[in-house]
Structure 1
Amino acid sequence: MKTAIKYILLSIMILTSYSISAQKGYADKINQSNSKGQKEGFWKEDLKYQITETYYHNGLKSGIFKAFSKKGILTCLGEYNNNKETGTWYYFGDYGHLMMIQKDFRKNTYKTPLEHHAQGFCSFRCYCTTYYPNGNKKSEGIMLFDKDPESDFTFEYGEWKYYDENGNLTKTRVFK
């Protein structure tokens, strides 16, 4: 009986040491730079208002991106390809509820005058859908932006649809 207990304790100690060793090896592989000093691989950064997890290749964001609030709640999930948003991006509120989806990212070909924008037009566009906390659609349409679709300098373009909290279409507006 004592031999069996010693064997179990020895096994636990060995497994624990392997686990600690494996975790150390993983921690050594995050926030690395390549020979050119560019970010490479998985990066976890504690910023002023959020914690981000980003994959890089040759200094460019490439792969899954996640952002978390300081409380550890997922606030954003998306994917980069060569430093550009691609695929579908999901934004979540403080309680984990879906707030917005952005997709169909591409260069903006609409050369519409925007009086509040220095260049007169935005470089990129995406399709944006916002949601009420109950999960019903709030609004949807094309959004124009320059570098970041989360910035304060985004503009609605074309036909936008607006819904009440029950999901009923209440208004359609065309932006030029």
Structure 2
Amino acid sequence: MVQHDAQGDVLFLHRNSHKLMGEPLREQLNYKSRAIAWSKKKIEVRQRFRQEGKPIPSWSELKPIVQAEELPAPTLEAPEPDGLPDSVVWTHLLSFNSSFKREKYYVKTYFAYPDFPRSQNCYGQRNVSMTEHFFAQNVTDLPFAGLETNLRRFAAEAMEIKQT
């Protein structure tokens, strides 16, 4: 989302409900089924060690072994081509055509499924090509084109620092 000043220049941009997390958005886990899966995995590891003729680890020694083999929860969003975990949101800038009177300016609320989840509202004009009062520009053509990438990179770096 963007805020313009009275002259139509960009004042600031924000990502609305798309918070910068610095890590992939993951599916919520069912902890009861996860605990059951861990117990089964511990039994499988003990059986595997027995079959391979290795010393069978105690139950307390199994935790780090099972943790090392556990996969993280699946991500909800596909990774971006640049490898950063947060999704790219700022792709286009919707602006009011200043040659029209201000009373022609109105912001609509709509859903942009499948581009965004059904639960998320979008603001502006759903079909910019259907109105002459607004126009869209590619963010890559604007002076702040690399800003979101830098912010996404900072968020990823912050998460790395936090985890160390």
Would you call these one fold, judging by a TM-score over 0.5? no
Structure whose residues are more often strand by fraction: 1
- Structure with larger RCO (C-alpha < 8 A, sep 6+): 2
- Relative to the length of structure 1, the TM-score reads 0.18
Q: Work out which of the two has the higher radius of gyration on C-alpha atoms and give 1 or 2.
A: 2
- Relative to the length of structure 2, the TM-score reads 0.19
Structure whose residues are more often helix by fraction: 2
